[in-house]
Amino acid sequence: MSVTDLSETRAWEAAAAVPDPEIPVLTVADLGILRGVSLKDGVAVARVTPTYTGCPAVLAIELAVEAALRDAGFDARIERVISPPWTTDWITEEGREKLRAYGIAPPAAAGNSVRALFGETVVACPRCGSEDTEKLSEFGSTPCKAHYRCKACLEPFEHFKCI
C-alpha cells in the first residue's frame, strides 16, 4: 500500500487501530465506539461516540483518533455522535475475548433494567471461570466498570458493566 493511498478503507484501518486510553488492550473498533470513517472533500471524518455521558476519556480518544488519521496522511476531523446511544452489545466478540484475557469480565449481552432493581446478574471470574463471585461495588475505576471478587480463586477483578 503506497503512502498516497488515501482511501476510506485505509482511513478506517488507521483510526480503528487506536487503543482505548483506559483499557489499552482494546482498540476503539473493538469497543464499538468508532462508528465509521468517511472521506468528505478530502477530509477524513471519524464518527466517535462516548461510552458514558460523562466519560472523561472521550476527549483523549477523539484526539488520539484524529492524530492517528493525520499520521496516516489524512486531513482529519472528528464528529461526536450520541444517537443512537452506545451499548455494550457493540463490543465485538474479539473485544470480549481480549477483555477476558486482560482480566476484566466482559459484559453479558443484555441491557440494564430497573426491573432488576435489586436483582444480581451472574458474572464469571475472568481468571478461573468460577461463577461464585460477588459484587463489591457498582462503580469502579472508570465509569464503565464495576468491582467484583471471585470467591473461588479469591482474586478481585473488574467487570465491564452492561449498559
User: In whole angstroms, how close is the CB of 72 to another protein at the nearest point?
Assistant: 27
Residue 117 contacts another protein per CB under 8 A? yes
Number of residues that bind another protein (CB under 8 A): 29
Residue 129 contacts another protein per CB under 8 A? no
Residue 143 contacts another protein per CB under 8 A? yes
Per CB under 8 A, the list member of 3, 82, 93, 122 interacting with another protein is 82
Give the Cα separation of 129 and 123 in Å (integer).
Answer: 9
DSSP state of 63: H
Residue 53 contacts another protein per CB under 8 A? yes
With respect to another protein, which residue has the nearer C-beta, 60 or 101? 60
What are all long-range contacts of 139-146, with beta carbons under 8 Å and residues at least 24 apart?
142/22, 142/23, 142/55, 142/57, 143/51, 143/52, 143/54, 143/55, 144/51, 144/52, 144/55, 145/104
The residues that touch another protein, with contacts defined as CB under 8 A, are 50, 52-56, 82-87, 111-114, 116-118, 136-141, 143, 147, 161, 163
